[in-house]
Copies of this chain bind each other. A is one copy, B any other.
Amino acid sequence: MKILVDAYGSDKGPEEIKQGCKQALIKHPGLFIGLIGPETLGEDLPERMEILPTSEWISNEEEPAKAVRAKKQASIVLGARKMEEDYEGLLSAGSTGAMLATGLLITKRLPGISRAALTILLPTRPHPTVLLDAGANMDTDARLLTQFGLMGSIYTRNVLGLKQPRVGLLNVGTEEGKGNALTKESFSLLENAPLHFIGNVEARDLFSSVCDVVVCDGFTGNIALKTLEGTAGFITSALKEELMAGTKTKIGAFLAKDALRNLKNRLDYTQTGAAPLLGIRKPLFKAHGSSNAEAIANGIDKLVLFIEKDTIGALTVALQENPERGA
């Protein structure tokens, strides 16, 4: 299997991403990786790896659709074009907007779908919870949300290995009839969709593993994820402040440092690897912008599994059987 990895985009730098690829090659003996990045990465190249050299990439500050159209040599654009040849998937830690624009403009959507959805993994146990849409679509309708549920369910089955993923609808209360016009209509469509719908789930249960797939529109998903990030940031910095406020608490913090490090790891997005843009014709995975080598290797694991299980094939069949505008 041949896949592509974007060496740009992680704030840890291209060399760290190369290290992640090397770890993945050891784990997957049949894997070949095309690393898109600076030519200098070509030194000391391990077997089963090649460099696709470019010095261009798309930053978070650029207008994504414009940049994707203008920068033909940008790493993610180059990667998407290479997927039309013999590479089967692409992983990038770069700009989410650029990945979304690349998916829609270059890779293009699967037949029967008008919107692709961004997935994200919440750090729950024993396995992560998949949330979609994490921010690709600001205004949606009930049929789109149902399709997101279907795609999330297939992805979770194939990549996380859950036989019958429990799909929940993110809402303001668990009872049927709760919510806004969108969630009320989505509830009844999801009930009749070919997936294991468990009903509404509340935002306070995002960490409780009450379901395996959380469905929401991209606006709501983005609000939930950023609230989560903001709260985690607020608490960890407040904890640090309080621990450093006195001598006794400082000693306490020193003795408890293993526990504090473990807590940090549990909150760490990068541990969960990467998640795909679902609804497009090829596997396109987004890793976190702070991904280290381990996170990249984890992300590659997920991408390899996604390809091995022919997830795109399964999605294509499901979307043809349950087209967005159908019954």
Contacts and interface: CB of A to CB of B under 8 A. Distances in A.
Quickly give the copy total for this chain: 2
Contacts of A233: 204, 207
Given A203-B230, A227-B224, A259 B246 contact: yes
Interface string A129-140: 000000100110
Nearest to A207: B234
Given A203-B222, A220-B219, A263 B249 contact: no
A243 interface: yes
Nearest to A242: B259
Contacts of A38: none
A218 B218 CA distance: 17
Chain A, interface size category, equals: 35 or more
A257 interface: yes
A216 to B, nearest CB: 8
Given A181-B139, A227-B206, A227-B227, A260 B232 contact: no
A229 interface: yes
A275 B222 CA distance: 26
A305 interface: no
Contacts of A239: 239, 259, 263
A164 interface: no
A66 interface: no
Given A207-B233, A239-B239, A246-B259, 13 more contacts: A138-B172, A138-B179, A138-B180, A170-B223, A180-B219, A205-B230, A206-B227, A220-B223, A223-B227, A227-B231, A248-B258, A249-B259, A252-B254
